[in-house]
Chain A
Amino acid sequence: MSDTDGEIVISVRGLRNAFGEQVIHDELDLDVHRGEILGVVGGSGTGKSVLMRSIIGLQHPVAGEVHVFGESMIGRDDTEATNVRKRWGVLFQGGALFSTLTVAENVEVPLREYYPELHQQLLDEIASYKIMMSGLPAEAAPKFPSELSGGMKKRAGLARSLALDPELLFLDEPTAGLDPIGAAAFDELTKNLKETLGLTVFLITHDLDTLHAICDRVAVLADRKVIAVGTIPELLALDHPWIQEYFNGPRGRAALGAKR
């Protein structure tokens, strides 16, 4: 597959993942288009994080193909993968900050790694505005991850994932553990980045408000597959029990009401 159509950034075909006997994904297909925010939802343990890990090449699938920016992510070595890695940012579910570096140094790591020619002063400046951008208080920059609260770790992880001004952003439950004001600000930020930088976002979330506020399309993961992809109205038109329960349950309706 090539990048010529310029449309599909991530393409997953026939993906199968298993841990021993336990099959997580089977015959899973998914496309992510350039410039969209794709929300990924599914019950706990349905394999959303594992799907993300297979797309970014951390989890070796049993079968299937994964292409990012038109390049296969399976069975390639690290040097080949750097060109793709430069173009994406990843926020892990647990933040995954480097515990021996301060928040500011964490943000500088990808910059230093890929652009060693940048001067320290510029690095510091870039780190500063990224930290401010992610909504952290200024005092957080010289702190170590163990000195941060759970929500602050999330934001610091976000600042690091944005360090390279990526074209593609993977976010694993970014708003979990944020206060509602912070979560709304986060939605705003993601949307802003998408509009100004043309960012493509792969967003795993349980946050119905986020789904309504910023996602262009939503992919539903269940029964080891992506059972449906589409805008929320499109999904609501399907009569799959889990989807109905999800969007029309008490919380789903509340979020829907707030939207209207």
Chain B
Amino acid sequence: MNSPADFTEEDDALRFSGALVLARLGNLPQRLETLAKQPRAIDLSGIERIDTVGAWLIHRLARDSDADVTGANEDAKRLIDQVSQLDKPLQMRPDPTPPFIRVLAQMGAATVSAFRMLYGLLGFFGAILISCWDIIRDPKRFRGNAIARQFEVVGVDALGIIGLMSFLIGIVIAQQGAVQLRQFGAEVFTINLIGRITLRELGVLMTAIMVAGRSGSAFAAQLGSMKLAEEVDAMRTIGVSPIEALVIPRVMATVIMMPLLGFYAALVAIIGGGLFCWISLDIPLITFFQRIREVVPITDLWVGLLKAPVFGLIIAMAGCFQGMQVEGNAEEVGLRTTAAVVQGIFLVIVLDAFFAVFFSSIGWV
């Protein structure tokens, strides 16, 4: 319909032709930049159409080479006039900082934000405790429905994946244990290994990692998007405390679900290990479970069950805290979600080490 934009040089004049519109420009801008000599006049009488980009190119050329524009029709004149009024170079991006300063600034900012985060987390914990106290004094404010919903999301919906994971872990422990212990002719101790390690450590730890990945991240992303959409601010102005409505149900659900999930994970892992022993070591299931009862002290169960709610608290708090920190843009939601998972898992493992030392020192070995 329109021929491509083009121009010819005649003496001092540039004669344009075709449609001077964005879609038909082709390499015209580049050609204009490499003109042999500055034109004195620009003739637009041959053009078919023009849009603001075409008008801008003409305006720029006329401005830089001090040429006269001739032969422009009404529309072209108006457009060129319009863009020439808007001629003002703008800054496209915020000022960049020099690399050295930037590295220093980043290190400083990272240090400050690490301390801020610790401080913030502490404050957040305090806010949760205060809200809990408020709820205890005024139990009507307890949001049963929200908590039940979170029970489902955090606990029930996770049963499948945690079960599968634990089952496989049980098999791996049994298999690896059997291979190593066989060298000493102590294959039968595989059962001790499975029973003690799953109840005491792995059941809860692996569950915590799974919950951090499933629910900690979800908490951060949910609360983060709500903050971006100003939902949290809206809640505050209505007089609903976001801690009470959003954070407490999630934290409580995770704290209550973690021991249950951890216990379930340990059981399934033991079943997985038992099946492996039965199939490849020829230890009957009955014998396997009898041995488990004999060799696993009840304190192992307590160790696992006592750690679980603490891990749950850490994971849920990290998730909700990071979510509430979101400000600005969608990228932030992603970053905060990652931070929630990384922090959650890291803190769980650090605490697990403390628990290990603590329980040994009180004689629960």
Contacts and interface: CB of A to CB of B under 8 A. Distances in A.
B contact face: mostly helix, strand, loop, or mixed: loop
B6 to A, nearest CB: 16
A128 B88 contact: yes
A153 to B, nearest CB: 12
A145 B29 CA distance: 30
Contact of A196 (B60, B75, B95): B75
Given A99-B329, A99-B330, A125 B56 contact: yes
Interface of B: 21-23, 25-27, 29-30, 51-53, 56, 60, 75, 78-79, 82-83, 86-95, 327-331
B51 A197 contact: yes
Nearest to B51: A165
A104 interface: yes
B62 to A, nearest CB: 14
Contact of B93 (A99, A104, A138): A104
A164 interface: yes
Nearest to B95: A142
Contacts of B331: 99-100
B330 A141 contact: no
A125 B60 contact: yes
A175 to B, nearest CB: 20
B329 A124 contact: no
Contacts of A129: 52, 56, 83, 86-88
Given A124-B92, A127-B90, A146-B328, A118 B52 contact: no
Given A100-B331, A102-B93, A102-B94, A138 B53 contact: no
Contacts of B51: 165, 197
B90 A196 contact: no
B29 A141 contact: no
A117 interface: yes
B26 to A, nearest CB: 8
A144 interface: yes
Contacts of A256: none
Given A126-B53, A165-B51, A141 B79 contact: no
A142 B53 contact: no
B328 A165 contact: no
B92 A127 contact: yes
Contacts of A197: 51-52, 79
Interface residues of A, number: 34
Contacts of B88: 128-129, 132, 138
B47 to A, nearest CB: 14
Nearest to B26: A117
Contacts of A108: 92
Given A99-B331, A122-B29, A127-B92, A196 B82 contact: yes
A80 B95 CA distance: 40
A165 B92 contact: no
A135 to B, nearest CB: 10
Nearest to B76: A196
B25 to A, nearest CB: 8
A83 to B, nearest CB: 10
A141 B22 CA distance: 22
Interface string A205-235: 0000000000000000000000000000000
Contact of A128 (B89, B328, B329): B89
Contact of B52 (A117, A124, A165): A165
B78 A196 contact: yes
Given A100-B329, A119-B30, A125-B60, A142 B93 contact: yes
Interface in A106-144: 108, 115, 117-119, 122, 124-133, 138, 141-144
B227 to A, nearest CB: 11
A34 interface: no
A237 B95 CA distance: 58
B53 A102 contact: no
A165 B23 CA distance: 9
B56 A126 contact: yes
Most buried by A among B22, B88, B89: B22
